[in-house]
């Protein structure tokens, strides 16, 4: 299965929805696309919506960590939301939740970031 990526801006926040599988086959494309989008415009915060992500391997964790560092350098915050149980377990085991918040859905994540602005 492939990966689809949808992006939408809300003020200084970029919302990225991943659909499909984030693995070693798709990680480079996601990395390059996100780096371009983050570098292109006013993007201080990043919400990664994983509701429709069915599978992720360690390559996906690398993509998330790299984008986290980019956003952090810009003085922003990166959060994840809508994580299904298998992906949640992988993120939890990797320790990502120690550095980044997780929310139930996009609207909750966006409202939390708006408060942070």
Give the pLDDT score at 114.
Answer: 78
Domains and CATH numbers, the chain: 3-109 (3.30.750.24)
User: What are the per-10-residue average pLDDT scores of the chain (117 residues)?
Assistant: 90 94 96 93 91 95 96 94 94 95 95 73
Give the pLDDT score at 115.
Answer: 61
**H-state helical runs in the chain:** 27-40, 58-73, 85-94, 106-116
Give the pLDDT score at 56.
Answer: 96
Q: Are strands 13-22 and 3-10 parallel, antiparallel or unpaired?
A: antiparallel
Give the pLDDT score at 43.
Answer: 87
């Amino acid at each position: 299965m492939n990966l689809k990526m949808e992006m939408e801006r809300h003020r200084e926040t970029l919302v990225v929805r991943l659909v499909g599988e984030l693995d070693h086959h798709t990680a480079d494309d996601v990395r390059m696309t996100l780096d371009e989008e983050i570098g292109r415009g006013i993007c201080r915060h990043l919400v990664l919506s994983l509701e429709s992500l069915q599978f992720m391997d360690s390559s996906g964790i690398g993509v998330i960590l790299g984008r986290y560092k980019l956003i952090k350098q810009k003085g922003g915050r990166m959060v994840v939301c809508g994580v299904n149980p298998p992906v949640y377990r992988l993120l939890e085991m990797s320790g990502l939740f120690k550095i980044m918040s997780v929310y139930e859905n996009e609207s909750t994540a966006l409202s939390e970031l708006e408060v942070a602005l």
